[in-house]
Structure 1
Amino acid sequence: MEELQGLQVYKFGGASVKDAAAILNLCRIVRDFGPQGPLVVVVSAMGKTTNALEEIYDLAYRGEDYSAQLGAVEAYHHRAATELHSYFAQPDDTMVTQLPNYFQELHQTLQSINSVGSYDEGYDQVVSFGESLSAYLVTWALGNALPKQVLYNGALVATDTTWREGRVDWVKTEERTQEALHGLLNDWRGRVMVTEGFVGQVQVDGFTSTTTLGREGSDYTAAILAYCLRAERVTIWKDVAGLLNADPKIFPDTVRYPEISYRETIEMAYYGASVIHPKTLKPLADRGIPLYVKSFLDPAAAGTVIHECQHPALAPAFIRKTDQCLLSFASKDFSFISEENLAVIFSALAQAKLKINVMQNSAISFSVCVDFSERRVHQLLDLLREQFTLHYNTGLMLFTIKNYDAASIQQLTTGRALLLEQRTRSTFQFVCKA
């Protein structure tokens, strides 16, 4: 195992690369705050590109016209490319000339999408283009902005064929990262390598196919690469001051945690805290790699460090998940919900790829709250309707208070009709209408 002393991983999300000005700010952060040693930069798709590509894919899959939506995505990236090109005095011209090739390839992929094996497999082939485009623009901008060698490497994470939720093949991924590392080994000081977040690869029948790691999976990519490269630290650059006890767009008077433990953060991420992807912390904790959450709007500020530590009682954390669905299953013969019934329900939930956010059972019924996907919910209903009476409600919200107290519960529940509530020693959750 070859190692580079002082290697760090930076991850920049969609808001931090949303346009030319944001990408230039990324360049300034790498120049002014980046490490003296080698740096791996992981990027998400620009702005809301992933949402736009999801819409385009749905249209293409249904055989409907997507030309206007695709044209808007292309114009958006072309505008950013043109503005970046005009910023530099003597820029390399390859970006503006090569960018159309990406969209030609995307168009060809969309035209042949119905020949792909499944909806989820096709999704990965299309939606992953957002990260490829972003990584291309960021690589070009860094290469023109910095007096250091900037390298680009495509998806480094090897996965299985679990489309849209690729499971990491850690052995192959470590082999790939080691190969990529050779590009940094010769006179590595100050070198930068840019790669795509969210995206993985798998070999299927001798051909390389694209997979993805789940929505917001670029954080996870950064952690995977840090684990495989034995990085010194990871920094996730966000539009907030660090890890806060609530989303400042939703809750007033938020509190920043200066430091917080891996375990506490893993639990907050599991319940839906938007700052960190739920799978990010485990590989970092396994290697003892600290994770810093910092603001790209104020890069000199302290932010938050997540590591193995002891801290006093934390301020209650408020987490809200929207677009929730409450599903209730009842036995048709009024018999008790048994372990055998639960095994059938859990198996069907796994088949439909529905993640349980809250569950609760009574004598003759079992309820779960999940992220709503019409296609997946109907798949679940098809699997279970012969055995159970099923009801579901959509358009709901799930609130979680981590480290709750009486005041925090009253603050969130006052004036709301609770459809389901549950509390443990440290966590209070409830489902209500949006």
Structure 2
Amino acid sequence: MDIFKFGGASIKNADGVRNVANIIRDYKKGNLLVVVSAMGKITNRLEDLNDAFLSQSEDTHNIFEEIKLFHFSIIEELFKGKPNPVFDDVANTFVEIEWLIEDEADENAEYIYDQIVSIGEVVSTKIIAAWLNETGSKTLWADARNYIQTDNTYKEGKVDWAKTNQTIQKDLVPLLADQIVVTQGFIGGTSENYTTTLGREGSDYSAAIFASCLDAAALTIWKDVPGVLNADPKWFDETEKIAQLSYHDAIELTYYGATVIHPKTIKPLQNKGIPLFVRSFIEPKGSGTAITKDNNPLPVPSFIFKVNQALVSIFPKDYSFIIEENLSNIFELFHKHKIKINTMLNSAISFSVSVDDHAGQIEKLINDLSGEFTVKYNKGLELVTIRYYNQQTIDRVTIDKDILLEVKSRHTCQMVMKNRYLT
């Protein structure tokens, strides 16, 4: 039993769907579960639709029509006008949104988000399953909401592992005996049959959940890169593919912001010793990257860049020490405002953190912190993390930069920096 996961970039158009079908058709090892994201940038457009509906914007129905047209144009190009049940199936799926946006937005906003944005995965998988059947691969479409069971935390559903494992073993395993099964990433279901999502970019995590519960031989995530690279090509002209990674290094890299793999993906696989392969859907015969239990250090330093950072420094108003009680209060406020700390450093009388500068969130946090603390902050910064650093790698990324905060451990260096010539 293997799991394949395909993201939106792999199915952004009809040619992408054909390519994915070819990769699946060439798989000849046995049972296969295919986990698929929404097509292209559709999740972004569905988020735009959600925002427009919540604000009762006049653009709501225009955005919705654009989303429908995008999908139906792909179906038309694939099937060339030939009758296929997928036309009605997708149309009926979109009716769920039509019913929702015809009413006023009087439900919980996060609940509404999950009901709207989840449709991207439902529709994409219906199209993929239909095309696989059309091209000779016996395929069944399955609804992930029937298997991945979560609580009612909308936008960040917490998985009920015991119930999920029981349901997958009982209901999904029999379906995989003699056919390919296509299902959705990113989404789950509650005990009341409401849709939840597992957090932005959560399709990798979905695939890992299925892999863990099915005791899969391997999970392969198909990307538009040849494997895990030691740096993002948009920041470095020269990058190197890492042929093999340990679970530990993969967890570290995703925690610090590497975008190739979702941060929650690794742990379920590590718990079961399931290897993760990152391969290219552009060059599917390439070797990619293997992430396994073998605990070898990275062969080259890895660089992770996060821009649009805010550096927030917190001081007790009476210049007393930063102690456990202060830190407890501070972390409680960060949790309240759902702000993730990317790096932190504390001294006797200060506590400094680098966080993503989401519009409006930082100001609300600072307002709450200011009741008890003196707060200073800088915006427009970047955070660079180097895994397996040395002085040469530090010098490489600090040219014309002022370092405002630096945190080092044995293998990892993090620096919050600003452009020296920025006015």
Which of 270, 285, 308 is matched with 1:285 structurally?
A: 270
Matched with 1:348 is 333
CA contact (8 A) 2:310 2:381 kept: yes
SS of residue in 1 equivalent to 2:401:
coil
Segment drifting more, 420-429 vs 223-232: 420-429
CA contact (8 A) 1:142 1:150 kept: no
| 2:29 counterpart of 1:36 | yes
Matched with 1:196 is 184
Q: Where do residues 224-243 of structure 1 align in structure 2 (5 Å cutoff)? A: 224-243=209-228
Which of 46, 53, 61 is matched with 2:54 structurally?
A: 61
Which of 138, 142, 159 is matched with 2:128 structurally?
A: 138
Q: Where do residues 246-325 of structure 1 align in structure 2 (5 Å cutoff)? A: 246-311=231-296, 313-325=298-310
Going from structure 1 to structure 2, the CA distance change for 1:333 and 1:277 (only over 3 Å counts) comes to same
| Paired amino acid for 1:240 | V
Distance in 2 (CA, whole Å) between partners of 1:195 and 1:326 is 41
CA contact (8 A) 2:137 2:180 kept: no
Which of 72, 85, 91 is matched with 1:100 structurally?
A: 91
Which of 116, 119, 129 is matched with 2:119 structurally?
A: 129
Task: Kindly state the Cα deviation for residue 201 of structure 1 after the two structures are TM-superposed.
Answer: 1.3
Task: Kindly state the Cα deviation for residue 344 of structure 1 after the two structures are TM-superposed.
Answer: 0.4
Deviating above 4 A after TM superposition, structure 1's stretches of 4 or more consecutive aligned residues are: none
Matched with 2:39 is 46
Segment drifting more, 194-203 vs 66-75: 66-75
Count of paired positions: 417
Per-residue CA deviation, residues 351-376 of structure 1 (Å, 9 max, x unaligned), is 22211111112333222112232343
Going from structure 1 to structure 2, the CA distance change for 1:160 and 1:240 (only over 3 Å counts) comes to same
Q: How high is the TM-score relative to the length of structure 2? A: 0.93
Task: Kindly state the Cα deviation for residue 310 of structure 1 after the two structures are TM-superposed.
Answer: 3.7
Going from structure 1 to structure 2, the CA distance change for 1:12 and 1:147 (only over 3 Å counts) comes to closer
Going from structure 1 to structure 2, the CA distance change for 1:230 and 1:113 (only over 3 Å counts) comes to farther
Q: Where do residues 366-381 of structure 1 align in structure 2 (5 Å cutoff)? A: 366-381=351-366
Matched with 2:77 is 83
Matched with 1:10 is 4
Q: Which runs of 5+ in 1 are unaligned?
A: 1-6
SS of residue in 1 equivalent to 2:283:
coil
Distance in 1 (CA, whole Å) between partners of 2:263 and 2:11 is 22
Task: Kindly state the Cα deviation for residue 149 of structure 1 after the two structures are TM-superposed.
Answer: 3.6
Task: Kindly state the Cα deviation for residue 379 of structure 1 after the two structures are TM-superposed.
Answer: 4.2
| Paired amino acid for 1:264 | D
Going from structure 1 to structure 2, the CA distance change for 1:310 and 1:318 (only over 3 Å counts) comes to same
CA contact (8 A) 2:14 2:75 kept: yes
Matched with 2:142 is 152
Distance in 1 (CA, whole Å) between partners of 2:262 and 2:374 is 35
Per-residue CA deviation, residues 142-191 of structure 1 (Å, 9 max, x unaligned), is 12123424333332211122222221110111122124325425xx24x1
| Paired amino acid for 2:50 | Y
Segment drifting more, 277-286 vs 324-333: 324-333
Which of 360, 372, 380 is matched with 1:395 structurally?
A: 380
Superposed CA RMSD in Å reads 1.9
Going from structure 1 to structure 2, the CA distance change for 1:275 and 1:182 (only over 3 Å counts) comes to closer
Task: Kindly state the Cα deviation for residue 95 of structure 1 after the two structures are TM-superposed.
Answer: 1.5
SS of residue in 2 equivalent to 1:184:
helix
Distance in 1 (CA, whole Å) between partners of 2:230 and 2:266 is 17
Matched with 2:68 is 74
Going from structure 1 to structure 2, the CA distance change for 1:331 and 1:113 (only over 3 Å counts) comes to farther
Distance in 2 (CA, whole Å) between partners of 1:239 and 1:361 is 39
Which of 216, 220, 223 is matched with 2:205 structurally?
A: 220
CA contact (8 A) 1:153 1:193 kept: no
| Paired amino acid for 2:13 | D
| Paired amino acid for 1:163 | Y
Task: Kindly state the Cα deviation for residue 378 of structure 1 after the two structures are TM-superposed.
Answer: 4.2
Distance in 1 (CA, whole Å) between partners of 2:197 and 2:298 is 37
